[in-house]
Amino acid sequence: MTVARRPRPGPGRKVAVVTGASQGLGAVVTRLLAGEGYDLILVARHAAPLAALSNEIRSAGARVTEISGDVAVARTRSRIVAAVRPHRGLDLLLNNASELGPSPLPPLSRVALRALEQVYRVNVVAPVALVQSLLPLLERRHGLVVNLSSDAAVGGYPGWGNYGASKAALDLVSLTLAHELHDLGVGVVSVDPGDMRTRMHQRAFPGEDISDRPLPEATLPFWAWLLGRPNTEVTGHRFRAQSEHWGARA
């Protein structure tokens, strides 16, 4: 277990938590947030790539706390809360950490129930638990919660039932929380980033060439747009990060 490095909070700086931050889309959005001057609490299961990313953006002047751990584990979530608390508020919670499940993808009719439970622990239970634990800090800053969805949540694709069902549940979680937290000034959205050339996507298609998929950087214009919008304008929406019309509810 890696001990979190805790820089002193910067006065007046925005604060973000990014889970699944060490690679793929999480790393891309992390670099964007660092460039925008956010203080960052970065979370990932694998310590080495997390440390490499943290050192990269720290060398460019970002303030970073890194936490190596699984968001499905209560102790990891407690460490996240402890890292945010000295900042006295949270502007952005990006629930990007996701569990695909077994690879190759099995039919839902034959998926092991323990694998189904693990996917739900990471993709549904952990985001809800983090919102519950961080809500007082989100409320202080009128923060935004972004939950990462997938087109598998609405596609019913063979083999994707385990992962897709968890993301469909997360979509409903996002919409429900948006309604419940509206009067507290906390916004909640879900985002389908679209097909991307990532390690997780490659695991979904073992041995296949996925070089035709765009890199996660293709979503950067969307993220810059989303983070520039007031919560009241976006909360309750489900966005597609690679669509032509970001403002249209998906």
**Position 175 pLDDT exceeds 50:** yes
Instruction: Give the tens place of pLDDT for each residue, 213-244.
Output: 778 899 999 999 999 999 999 999 999 999 87
Tell me the average pLDDT of the chain.
90
Residues recognised as catalytic: 163
Q: How far apart are CA 186 and CA 67, in angstroms?
A: 24
The predicted structure's pLDDT at residue 202: 65
CA-CA-CA-CA torsion sign (229, 232, 235, 240): negative
pLDDT recorded at residue 11: 58
Percent of the chain with pLDDT over 70: 89
Q: Residue 162: which of 96, 114, 206 has the closest Cα?
A: 114
Question: In whole angstroms, how large is the CA radius of gyration of the chain?
Answer: 17
**CATH number assigned to the domain with residue range 15-240, chosen from the 4 options 3.40.50.720, 3.20.20.70, 2.40.50.700, 2.40.37.20:** 3.40.50.720
* Gap between the Cα atoms of 189 and 191, Å rounded: 7
pTM for this entry: 0.91
Say what the pLDDT of residue 86 is.
96
Domain parsing of the chain, residue ranges: 15-240
Distance CA 7, CA 39 (A): 9
Instruction: Name the H helices within the chain.
Output: 24-35, 47-59, 74-84, 113-120, 126-141, 152-155, 161-181, 199-204, 220-227, 231-234
pLDDT at 213: 73
